Amino acid sequence: MSEIDVTEVFRRAHQGLPREAPGSRGTTELLLRLAGDLPGEPDVLDLGCGTGPAAVPLAELTGGRVTGVDLHAGFLDDLRRRAEAAGVGDRVTALPASIDDLPLPDACADLVWAEGSAYVVGFDAALTGWRRLLRPGGVLVLTEAEWLVPDPSPGARAFWDPGYPAMRTTAGNIAAAERLGWTVRATYVLPDSDWAEYYDPLRARLEELRAAGVPDGLVDQVGEEIGVREWHGAEYGYTGYVLRPR
């Protein structure tokens, strides 16, 4: 096998996975119900859509038009295939763009959705920068990585702090949202089964790579987050937020 690095192993491990963050169709459906009334055929933005685990159900459930935004061309290809297979290809559009520099006009969406992607720009920046996208009466739904305890252990912090030092507790994020002019309509801590929906396929892919001769050290690096979750999962989670501008 030619020499590879951890970045290449990460790409191979994640390419084609059903999702890139904890979640499930059940959670998507629940958060959509909590979002409340929408227009009959809403315009929906799914920011950081990945391969479409939320975008496609949103098209099916709302009857509206969904624009999935992601920088990764491979993810958007998977989104298009997924939408066609589900019979909603005519109502799902793939837009290659960065979620912190969106080439979209103001007031273009009735629903802005972001499962597991707000951390890329940061919770406060997401709430500030994405507000302009909503029409009057619109709603923002996102899931955010959070501490579930006030004093996380060094082991948990060693994993999360380098990548997301601004991670807060739910109380801290609620206070931030209200300070930024949002009404928090609902919060929902994703269950362990939503983590399994993300990690079980990833774990299987890592074992395939190991069996194919990828060095154990590289595989272990890419799979580190699974072990951290097993040891420290009670200390952090993903929380769904339903937010409306005040």
Residue 110 lies in a domain: yes
Residue 172 lies in a domain: yes
Average pLDDT of the segment spanning 109-136:
97
> What pLDDT sits at residue 16?
87
Enclosing domain of residue 52: 19-150+160-191+237-245
Residue 126 lies in a domain: yes
Q: How many domains does the chain contain in total?
A: 1
- Asked whether the predicted pLDDT for residue 1 surpasses 60, the reply is no
Average pLDDT of the segment spanning 102-113:
98
Backbone dihedral angles phi then psi of residue 105, each to the nearest 5 degrees: -75, 165
Please report, for residues 42, 118, 198, 224, the alpha-carbon distance to residue 145 in angstroms, rounded to integers and kept in the order given.
Answer: 27, 9, 14, 17
pLDDT band at 11 (very low <50, low <70, confident <90, very high): confident
Average pLDDT of the segment spanning 151-175:
96
Residue 215 lies in a domain: no
Residue 81 lies in a domain: yes
Whole-number average pLDDT of the chain: 96
H or E segment at 134? strand 134-147
Average pLDDT of the segment spanning 157-170:
95
CATH of the domain at 66: 3.40.50.150
Residue 138 lies in a domain: yes
Taking alpha carbons only, the member of 130, 237, 243 closest to residue 183 is 243
Average pLDDT of the segment spanning 221-239:
97
Average pLDDT of the segment spanning 124-136:
98
pLDDT digits (tens, 9 = 90+) for 44-96: 999 999 999 999 999 999 999 999 999 999 999 999 999 999 999 999 999 99
Residue 62 lies in a domain: yes
Non-local (6+) Cβ contacts of 101 within 8 A are none
Residue 225 lies in a domain: no
